[in-house]
Chains A and B, each alone.
Chain A
Amino acid sequence: MARQQGLFALILALAIAAGAVLFSFPLQLGLDLRGGSQLTLQVLPAGAIKTVQREQLEAVKEVLDRRVNGLGVAESTLQTIGDDQLVLQLPGEQDPTRAAKVFGTTALLEFRAQKPGTEREMQGLLRLKRQAQSVLDLSRRRTSAEPAQPAAPGQPPAQTPSFPAEDLAKALRELGVSVPPGAGETEQIEALLDEVNKRVVALYEPAALTGKDLVTAGRQQQQTGTGWDVTLNFNRQGGEAFAKLTQSIAGSNRLLGIVLDGRSISEASVSQEFAAAGITGGAASITGNFTAEEARDLEVQLRGGSLPLPVKIIEVRTVGPLLGAENIRTSLVAALAGLALVAVFMVVVYRLPGAVAVVALSLYALFNLATYALIPVTLTLPGIAGFILSIGMAVDANVLIFERVKEELRSGNTLIRSIDGGFSLAFSSILDGHVTGLISCIALFALGTGLVKGFAVTLGIGLLLSLFTALSCTRVLLRLMMSYPTLRRTTYFLPSRQLTSPAA
């Protein structure tokens, strides 16, 4: 009996430890339960690299890691999958558009000088660009349902930028942009802007300086106006290149173009005063009249460096926090209802040992949750399903044992002998059932992806723990109870009519 008491003390200690673990380490909830965005990125081969290797994937991951950290989303995770994929989880992030912009681009920053003799063409293009951009900005503000700044009463509303239809048609025609019939004004302007940007980039010389020589990037609010600038700091080599570049165009009407991933994001003029030495000191700023958010995203991309290989977003999953909360609520209700039904069933069918099994099963659930918190396992919807299912399988071990105990009792054995016999006879089938279950869990975990993996982990943990609780907790509790003579009654195990029927 001392051995039972020792084991009982151990189980009690484990239960308290599990409770403490749950109290101090919160369970990690998956994005489907708490809301957020998940992006799967595929790294594409480019240039001389025909297939993506492990090192290249790691290099891409490193750059993205820096961008993730720069973005400041709490508890974001970035993992590699297979040979050429990355999964990025951003809890709480509701707008995958932004994330896609920050992570889906290579962020190759280039500084280019304008080709000589293209001043007139450039001016025309930039005028068109400004006009198109301001109209687009206005219409975006309108559709994003932000109330426009109300005009002061009694005053006429502020002048709004517009793009008269005939001017637009003329510009489209001149640039040779074809728009599909039926396209609205916004689509036409977008198409125009695209073409203008392409032509602007074509007017620059090849890159003189790239983001490789960038040390850090920051942002600051413009002193006039509400826009933001992105500031840049180059290393020594970059600073020299930048000085040379600015010197070459200072005082001319040629512009300095800042090109990100082949798109012109800003153009700056360099005044006469820098004609002697160029802009020295290794610092520059991009004045693109950015919004605070745009400036931050750009800063993050630049600071993180450029991606060694292009990436493509192949999967985006976004779950709203309300939907996540709903998922938690329903699966919690289902888990509790399932447990309650099983508990009632066990007590009705197996009486005293049934009640013991309910205690053991509660311990089992507690140990499971503590293990999830400790490892840690991120709980997702299929994970919860795996947990609920493993409860069903844990019960099976108890059912097997108690059925054997009943058989032993029916064939006339004493209570204690029957209990011991029940455990030892049921052991081999319990073991076989659990081992085969674990085999499939291992196969699922090793070969499965995403959801399947989460399911395999929770089911696997469940199977291991149920082996422990069924064979030790149930047994110890039952043996301990048998040390009290009042509980040592066969009718607590078996209805008397079954006992009296001869076991021929």
Chain B
Amino acid sequence: MTTSPSGPAALPKIQYFRITRHRRIAWWGSAVACLISLIGIGLCWLNPAIGAPLKPGLDFTGGTRIQLERACAPNCPAITVPQVEERLGDLKLPEEGGAAAPDLRGAPVQVLDQGRSIELRLPSLSAEQGNAVISQLAGSLGPFKDGGTSVDTIGPTLGDQLLRSSLLSLLVSFAAIALYITLRYDRVFAFLAILCLAHDVLITTGLFAWLGLLLGVEVDSLFAVALITVAGYSVNDTVVVFDRIREQKTSLGAFPFSDQVDVAVDATLTRSLYTSLTTLLPLLAILFFGGSSLFWFSVALTAGISVGSWSSIGVAPTLLPLLSGKGFVGSAPEDGSAPAGAA
């Protein structure tokens, strides 16, 4: 290796900080964040109005979402949520297949974009009933823009399917990534990478549990996409630091492992920060210019990627010396389990 011309006699100068000296702060910070997340998820679950770890959106519960754009932009006369709710209660819907039309009273209503559009969350409606809602609302709240309408009706079975397939794909990618890292590095690295990944996913989930409790934010299938992306990013970020730590072994093998970790984290710190920044820049662009459909998606990714950078700097490297025993990657872990050798 040509990285260190002064040879293994001296430890490279550390520019920023020695991460292992701050490890307790890092661990406590992460532990507290995980605890707060778990509390949020627990509160969501215990909340009788939610009854799930996160407030499930239409994609998971099934139902009909109708979005209407009013044809009076930019100066729409003010329209209020109670106004819309009142109209909703008076609607007459056609029957469908012998079943009585669902009661729309009390369905959640949102007025978006400074009163320019209305979003309704209704029980599952047939296409005909959905049209009836739009045409009847147009009479009292309209006019609505032709072509500015979106109607989504999702059966509850589809939500189950989505949830199952998202969870399954998340777990399968966890396992496959763990296997890959075990082959390329070793078991301890794989364990820590997955631990970090779980940490990042947990905190992102916790944030949305709290958002659901406090602001009524619901998670949809895009949230599942965001979580999986966070998982991928988290591993990517962690692996880069691990790669550097492994590289130090040859040049700094004589130094304590915690020093090697410090050098590696220090050397990759700029890159870690720049990378999360360049990934966050497009996300922030979506956040600010992307419109309402991608807003919470970008919030989830922004949070997840920030937490992911944190864990790959502060959590994974500092836990490594603890789990890897005295100093060398690949030596027996202290907890006495089987030696962590690459398969």
Contact = CB atoms under 8 A, between A and B. Distances in A.
Contact of A399 (B5, B127, B275): B275
Contacts of A99: 127
Nearest to A433: B236
Given A100-B127, A322-B147, A331-B290, A504 B165 contact: no
Given A447-B169, A452-B165, A452-B166, A322 B145 contact: yes
Interface in B274-288: 274-275, 277-286
6 contacts: A317-B151, A382-B222, A389-B283, A392-B279, A407-B3, A449-B161
A396 B309 CA distance: 13
B173 A439 contact: yes
Contact of A97 (B3, B67, B127): B127
Interface in A173-205: 180, 184, 186-187, 190-191
A334 B151 contact: no
Interface stretch (B18-26, B204-212, B224-232, B314-322): B224-232
Contacts of B95: 187, 190-191
Interface of B: 2-6, 10, 12-13, 67, 69, 92, 94-95, 100, 126-128, 130-131, 135, 145-155, 157-158, 161-162, 165-166, 168-170, 172-173, 176-177, 180-181, 184, 221-222, 224-225, 228-229, 231-233, 235-237, 239-240, 243-244, 247, 267-268, 270-271, 274-275, 277-286, 289-291, 293-294, 297-298, 301
Interface string A433-453: 111110111111011111110
Contacts of B233: 393
A383 B261 CA distance: 38
A205 B136 CA distance: 41
Contacts of A97: 127-128, 130-131
Nearest to B235: A436
Given A338-B285, A444-B173, A451 B225 contact: yes
Nearest to A406: B270
A345 interface: yes
B54 to A, nearest CB: 17
A441 B279 CA distance: 18
B12 to A, nearest CB: 8
Interface residues of A, number: 92
Interface of A is mostly: helix
Given A345-B277, A403-B274, A444-B173, 10 more contacts: A191-B95, A313-B126, A318-B151, A320-B146, A320-B149, A396-B275, A403-B270, A436-B232, A437-B236, A504-B6
A319 B150 contact: yes
Contacts of A320: 69, 145-150
Given A316-B152, A334-B290, A439 B243 contact: no
A395 B168 contact: no
Contacts of A288: none
A-B interface, 8 closest residue pairs, ranked by CB to CB distance from nearest = A338-B282, A392-B279, A314-B155, A443-B173, A447-B169, A330-B291, A320-B147, A338-B285
Contacts of B153: 315-317
A283 interface: no
A448 B169 contact: yes
A180 B95 CA distance: 12
Interface string A90-111: 0000111101100000000000
Interface in A318-352: 318-323, 326-327, 330-331, 333-335, 337-339, 341-342, 345-346, 349
A458 to B, nearest CB: 11
A205 B184 CA distance: 75
Contacts of A144: 135
Interface string A378-418: 00011001101101110110011001000110011100000
A323 B68 CA distance: 9
A389 B301 contact: yes
A432 interface: yes
Interface in A440-491: 440-444, 446-452, 455, 459
Contacts of A89: none
A238 interface: no
B158 A323 contact: no
Contact of B180 (A333, A334, A381, A436): A436
A428 interface: yes
A460 to B, nearest CB: 11
Most interface-central of B131, B229, B231, B267 (chain A CB within 10 A): B229
Given A392-B283, A403-B270, A444-B169, A459 B3 contact: no
Nearest to B298: A385
Contact of A314 (B158, B173, B236, B240): B158
A124 B282 CA distance: 70
A318 B279 contact: no
Contact of B282 (A35, A316, A349, A391): A391
B154 A94 contact: no
Given A331-B294, A436-B232, A455 B147 contact: no
A375 to B, nearest CB: 20
Contacts of A345: 274, 277-278, 281
Nearest to B222: A382
Nearest to A330: B291
B336 to A, nearest CB: 29
Given A395-B278, A449-B165, A315 B225 contact: no
A227 interface: no
A31 to B, nearest CB: 10
Contact of A40 (B69, B158, B235, B293): B158
A436 B172 contact: no
A389 B225 CA distance: 12
A449 B162 contact: yes
B69 A411 contact: no
A413 B293 CA distance: 50
Given A318-B150, A322-B145, A435-B180, A330 B290 contact: yes
A327 B293 contact: yes
Interface string A22-35: 00000000001001
Contacts of B157: 42, 314
Interface in A36-50: 40, 42
